[in-house]
């Protein structure tokens, strides 16, 4: 099976009728409005084509439908075997609009996040999309808190590249602890066990967010409903690599993260899915 064929098979994991809502947020994570939605993905011609219908149901207004059909994936899209995917801009540049969507699937639930930047390269709009399969009774997860993230997380990361070269899999180690009531420290190690790379950073604890200001690009992690987190720079600047990330706390000790990485030239270089387990203190 070619990489292109496998990518198409992967996206088919998203088939079905997904009921939920599009929640528009400010860059600070405040809810602007919440619109009920139904997104239907149907396989046609023996799953050679996908028909996608998006129905928005604004309160006190008629439903608004958009229908798309496609038989191949854009070069700006990558998808993992479990259906997790991302699509978006392949290149960031000054004075242009920029953004991406990241999506995770777990059983009958799906979580998506859209992060958009304006022409001044500032984080401008965020949309959190919480969905469940039609006729599913799976409950939504609670709003994410800082305390839920504290501890040591061991994980496995799989990285895909836009050129569809073979995927890479490696281990990750993430330790998050409170230094004091206002600050956390985060140590992330990844790569080869013989030569791991380690990144240490500290963040200010603010209402519903963590703010990292030590690096060349200030970065925030918004703590959101359904166990979700949104990791993104407040503003993108030339010459600085950056990531757009969606996190999802599935259980108290189990988490997934989807990371879309851009290099210092603003080029999209990879998409990484991290599956983590929190280590229980013995």
Summarised one tens digit per residue, pLDDT across range 197-251 is 889 999 999 999 999 998 889 999 999 999 999 999 999 999 999 999 999 999 9
Res 249: pLDDT: 98
**Percentage of the residues of the chain whose pLDDT score is greater than 70:** 98
Give the count of beta carbons closer than 10 Å to the beta carbon of residue 186.
17
Given a cut of 70, whether residue 252 has pLDDT beyond it is yes
Res 5: pLDDT: 83
Given a cut of 70, whether residue 193 has pLDDT beyond it is no
| Encoded tokens for 267 | 């080029």
Write the CATH number for 13. 2.40.128.20
Given a cut of 70, whether residue 1 has pLDDT beyond it is no
What total of structural domains would you count in the chain? 1
Encode pLDDT of 89-138 as tens digits: 999 999 999 999 999 999 999 999 999 999 999 999 999 999 999 999 89
Q: Which domain holds residue 182?
A: 3-278
Reported as a pLDDT band with limits 50, 70 and 90, residue 177 is: very high
**Measured in whole angstroms, how far is the alpha carbon of residue 116 from the centre of its chain?**
13
**Who contacts 42 (Cβ-Cβ below 8 Å, separation ≥6)?**
15, 50, 51, 52, 53
Res 81: pLDDT: 96
Higher pLDDT, 2 or 27: 27
Encode pLDDT of 144-160 as tens digits: 999 999 999 999 999 99
DSSP bridge partners of 267 = 91
């Amino acid at each position: 099976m070619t990489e292109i064929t496998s990518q198409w098979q992967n996206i088919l994991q998203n088939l079905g009728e997904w009921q939920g809502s599009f929640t528009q947020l400010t860059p600070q994570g405040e809810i602007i409005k919440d619109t009920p939605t139904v997104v239907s993905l149907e396989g046609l011609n023996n799953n050679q084509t996908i028909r996608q219908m998006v129905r928005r149901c604004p309160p006190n207004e008629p439903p608004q439908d958009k229908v798309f059909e496609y038989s191949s994936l854009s070069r700006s899209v990558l998808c993992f075997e479990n259906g997790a995917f991302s699509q978006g801009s392949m290149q960031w540049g000054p004075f242009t609009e920029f953004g991406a969507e990241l999506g995770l699937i777990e059983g009958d639930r799906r979580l998506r996040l859209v992060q958009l930047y304006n022409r001044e390269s500032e984080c401008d709009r965020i949309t959190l999309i919480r969905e469940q399969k039609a006729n599913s009774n799976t409950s939504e997860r609670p709003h994410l808190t800082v305390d839920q993230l504290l501890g040591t997380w061991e994980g496995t990361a799989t990285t895909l590249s836009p050129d569809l070269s073979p995927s890479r899999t490696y281990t990750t180690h993430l330790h998050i602890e409170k230094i004091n009531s206002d600050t956390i420290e985060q140590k992330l190690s990844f790569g080869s066990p013989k030569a791991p790379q380690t990144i240490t950073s500290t963040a200010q604890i603010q209402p519903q967010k963590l703010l990292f200001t030590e690096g060349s690009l200030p970065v925030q992690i918004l703590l959101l409903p359904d166990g979700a987190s949104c990791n993104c720079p407040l503003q993108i600047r030339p010459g600085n690599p950056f990531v757009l990330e969606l996190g999802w706390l599935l259980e108290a000790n189990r988490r997934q993260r989807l990371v879309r990485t851009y290099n210092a030239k603003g080029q999209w270089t990879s998409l990484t899915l991290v599956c983590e387990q929190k280590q229980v203190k013995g």
